[in-house]
Amino acid sequence: MTNGSIQALTMPKWGLAMKEGKVGEWLTEEGFEITTGEEVLEVETDKITSAVETPHNGILRRQVASSGEILPVGSLLAVIAESSVPQEMIDHFIENFQQNFVEEEPLEEDLGPQPQSVENRFGQDPVFETGRRGSVSDSAPWFSVVT
């Protein structure tokens, strides 16, 4: 996310299952110049601890996240901008980002075909769709699908 010469450094997503990360140690202090690919801070997940690299050149104007804070993927960690950008613009950028931030919806796992209830002369039993394109086959003439 950018706003002219202001860039956001956000919580990365390092895997399909990653939903949040714990902010670790800051490796760069506010006010220091950073270049693309430079490690800025450490983030810990349930599987790994790794350094977050900046995708932008500029000055680390604000560390928004604090060490130890657990934040969802996409959360604002820091603001990168040139020294000529007024502090009020940085404040406005952060406020706007926080107000418009929407946490990523978790992906639903594909659990495959869901069982259907069918009736036979002995009552209802779950039947799994094992035929072509997830359909009930072979035994279909013996059962009627209950909806």
Residues 6 and 69 in one domain: yes
| In a shared domain, residues 124 and 93 | no
Q: Give the model's confidence band at 2: pLDDT under 50 very low, under 70 low, under 90 confident, else very high.
A: very low
The answer to whether residue 106 is domain-embedded is no
Name the residue range of residue 128's domain: 116-145
Classify burial at 107, counting beta carbons within 10 Å of its beta carbon; exposed 0-12, middle 13-18, buried 19 or more. exposed
In a domain, 110, yes or no: no
Query: What is the number of residues in the chain?
Result: 147
Look at residue 92 and give its three-state secondary structure: helix
Q: Are residues 79 and 140 in the same domain?
A: no
pTM score, whole prediction? 0.67
SS3 assignment, position 50: strand
**Is 120 part of a structural domain of the chain?**
yes
Higher-confidence residue of 137 and 53: namely 53
Do 40 and 69 lie in one domain? The reply is yes
Domain count, the chain: 2
Percent of all residues in the chain with a pLDDT value above 70, rounded to a whole number: 67
Is residue 105 assigned to a domain?
A: no
**CATH assignment of the domain containing 73:** 2.40.50.100
Does residue 13 lie within any of the structural domains?
Answer: yes
Q: Are 49 and 43 in contact (CB under 8 A)?
A: yes
Provide the 10 A C-beta neighbour count for residue 43. 23
pLDDT in tens, 114-137: 666 556 556 655 656 666 666 655
